[in-house]
Amino acid sequence: MPWATGTVLTRGTVDGLPLLTWGRAPRDRLATRRQLRTLGLRPGGADPVAVLYVKHRASGRRNFASLYLIDRAMPVRPMTPARWAALDKANRARLARRYTQYRDAA
C-alpha cells in the first residue's frame, strides 16, 4: 500500500482496493474528495488508493468513500469568468426546471 510503511488493518477489498474502517485511515496521507477540497486540492486524475467504510449506528446506513493520496493531489483550478458564466447558466436552468415542475403539478 503506497501510504503505509507497515501492516494495515483492513476489512477486505472493494474493486481491488483496500477497505478501511473509519478512524483507521491515516489522515495525514489519505483524504476524501471533500477533504481535499477543504485543503484547496483536487484528485487531479489520480485513481483512489483505498475505500473508506462508515456505518451509522442509529440508522444502520452504510457509506463508502474513495480515498486519495494527499501527496498526489493537485491545486484546485481557479474560477475563470467563462466558468462563472457556465455555472450561472446551469443554476438558472435548474431553477427554471424546478419552477415548471411545481407549476405543472398545481
The per-residue pLDDT for range 62-77, each reduced to its tens digit, is 889 999 999 999 999 9
Q: Whole-angstrom distance between the N-terminal and C-terminal Cα of the chain?
A: 56
Q: Using the predicted structure, report yes or no on whether residue 43 has a pLDDT greater than 60.
A: yes
What pLDDT sits at residue 31?
94
What does the angle CA 77 – CA 80 – CA 85 come to, to the nearest 5 degrees? 125
User: What is the residue-averaged pLDDT of the chain?
Assistant: 86
Max Cα–Cα distance, the chain, nearest Å:
62
Q: Where are the alpha helices (DSSP H) in the chain?
A: 33-38, 81-105
What pLDDT sits at residue 106?
57
